Structure 1
């Protein structure tokens, strides 16, 4: 079942990327960000499921410390980038629906590349900081985590070092990479929904809302999960 899910996920994202690259009329800001999202979803899924599939197939549930930290590094980097990409997609829809006359001037290829580059670099830097702090920890107690991947909290619980600094830094980084993009996305969608409701025709409202309803659903599930898991940790992990 997990193999089928993984193959379908990979095939779907690769197909989206291929279509966006091949079709000239899809070379627009909206599909540029969608292509970025599909690309990172491909890597994001590949940091978790292949190792899980190998464990299910062989029965070997062990992973080296280096492999665990590497998995955690790429997982954190890709999650941070995806937060920004989702926020950029909502900004693109905001401009297209609320400011259509200014759209081409405020959202072009150069601006798209700059926004993507900033999200990649900032995510890379933040993930590297956490990776460095984690590499300074010592693990001398139990070596098992009750988790299917090397996530931050289960790994930190195994350390016999003082983890207060890395927990504080990670909390701050998580807050920066989840709350501002989420609040910006929320503000954009308040403006979008307000504009859509002011459209006189029913068909016009339906068409405008159909362009962003799926994205709004993904944003709600994605940011909601991140905030619950990483912004509201249980007291035992502090």
Structure 2
């Protein structure tokens, strides 16, 4: 009942407005068309304003840095911090540092390597011991190039490659290492619960502490 009444009221109000517009000499259709046009123009204006605000926000954002800062030292003419472009290679940073000295160990550095921000580039001198990438990988591993397991750095999986060392014993070795520090000698592994002389005798030829 209320729904029907509301519909009748809307119809009466609409008819009344049309009559008033007609009496005033206005064209109701023109009025409605103008209203729709104004609403459309308002919508377009609001959308344009939002797009402009978004563009301004992007323009105000911090510009992406196109430079890197690297430290070049060692056997170069002028060691120091240098600014280079983001796509630079080591050789370009070395050139900015005046190039390598005659005493530089040139083969020890990969001059084609890409640079990263804050990187230190040290050019070694001739006769200076250097660590190759292969040697570095071996040092970071718990197993040396000769096959011996470094009980100070080996992971549980690497320790488990030893005869008589299962997962539980490997975890005990690591726990002991974390609590007491590095083993001073291979004999120190016998301080770990469950590893006695007999087990050590089986391990000693295959383990190291350095």
**Larger strand share, 1 or 2:** 2
Greater share of residues in helix: 1
Q: What TM-score do you get using the length of structure 2 for normalisation?
A: 0.19
Q: TM-score, normalised by structure 1?
A: 0.18
